[in-house]
Amino acid sequence: MENVASVDGIIKKVDIWKNADVRYKPLSGGITNHNYLCTVQGKKYVLRIPGAGTDTFINRAYELSSSIAAAEAGTSPEILSVVKPEDALVIPFIEGEVLHPDTVAADDGHVVKIVSAVRQVHERAVFETETNVFEMTRRYIAMAKDVNAFFPDDFGWMLSISEKIETAMDRDAPAPAACHNDLLSENFIVDPEGKLWILDWEYGGMNDPFFDLGDFAVEHPLSPGQLKLVIETYCGEYQHHRFCRMMLHQLTADLWWCQWAMIQDRISKIDFDFYTYGLGRYSRFRDNYYHRDFNGWLAGV
């Protein structure tokens, strides 16, 4: 956790607050960054300070350019200030409801709003960097080996499944789109006017757009009908081959984030149980593989 002195030092460097009286308090949420609600002359802002060691995974220059592009697409708050070399960001504070997996799943309207916002940024934005989930996973596996991270006994089998999915994904592949790649419910806020905002573009990159949908699906306890609603909303109609693509990307998302978690378990000083988090994602990968429709998804993509 940043100490008070470091937060105060960063606040003094925010150009839009020069000589202003800034009151701040910590905001909850987020695993690897520290967020503060700052009040300046009656206006509210969020100061986001990267956590120690996060640059192992995140290129802050790409994050900034992706955040700006997402804001221009109308899906993310404007970046008001950047503090160097800390790479702290200041954005407007969005009054509203931070979503939760259960609240998303309890309301089809939330599902429609989220998918519509994701489609909007996919259609309107272009990011500077590319993110191929399979290449990224291989990169993370190498990093995990370098730090002697935990691998389950059946990891070789998991890789063989991932290879089958990667081969299947070559069929009728869509054009890359500006993807968020980390669509946790905590990254969604619904404001009082009902607009949904998407936050935190640290892992943003040009990727298979159905990876974003698969990542969203695997992070939320959606019903079978809601999973189809995701495709209907995104595509304008239900398309089975795109549904299959989304469902397979649930597995690719979990395999990617398993590696991330186990690397963090070895190197992070953040007070979070990355090991148990990673085990849960390994377990979910297995569950989705043993889903009775898995072979149908593989054949239908």
Specify whether 26 is located in the same domain as 159. Answer: no
Q: Are residues 67 and 163 in the same domain?
A: no
pLDDT (tens digit per residue) in 141-184: 999 999 999 999 999 999 999 999 999 999 999 999 999 999 99
CATH code at 279? 3.90.1200.10
Task: Mark whether 202 and 54 lie in a shared domain.
Answer: no
- The overall average pLDDT reported for the chain is 95
Number of domains in the chain: 2
From start to end of 153-290, where are the E strands?
Answer: 177-179, 188-190, 196-198, 205-207
Note whether 28 and 138 are same-domain residues: no
Same domain as 216, residue 102: yes
pTM: 0.93
Please say if the pLDDT value at position 4 is more than 60: no
Handedness of CA 191, 117, 208, 185 (dihedral sign): positive
pLDDT at site 2:
44
Residue 29's pLDDT is: 66
pLDDT digits (tens, 9 = 90+) for 254-265: 999 999 999 999
- Give me the residue label for tokens 């390994």: 282
Q: Does residue 120 sit in the same domain as residue 155?
A: yes
Which one of 92, 115, 143 terminates a domain? 92
Q: What is the pLDDT of residue 33?
A: 83
Do 50 and 133 fall within a single domain?
A: no
pLDDT exceeds 60 at position 88: yes
Q: Please choose, from the candidates 35, 31, 1, 27, the residue with its C-alpha nearest in 3D space to the C-alpha of residue 276.
A: 31
Instruction: Write down the pLDDT at residue 3.
Output: 46
Range of the domain at 74: 4-92
Is pLDDT at 50 greater than 50 in this prediction?
yes
pLDDT of 1 > 60? The answer is no
pLDDT, tens digit (0-9, with 9 covering 90-100), for 199-252: 999 999 999 999 999 999 999 999 999 999 999 999 999 999 999 999 999 999
Same domain, 215 and 128: yes
So what's the pLDDT on residue 51?
Answer: 77
Contacts by residues 152-155 (CB-CB < 8 Å, ≥ 24 positions apart): 152/282, 154/286
Beta strand 177-179 with 97-98 is unpaired
- Whole-Å CA distances, 232 to 117, 131, 153, 243: 14, 25, 38, 9
pLDDT digits (tens, 9 = 90+) for 95-111: 999 999 999 999 999 99
| Selection from 171, 163, 156, 172 nearest residue 133 by Cα | 163
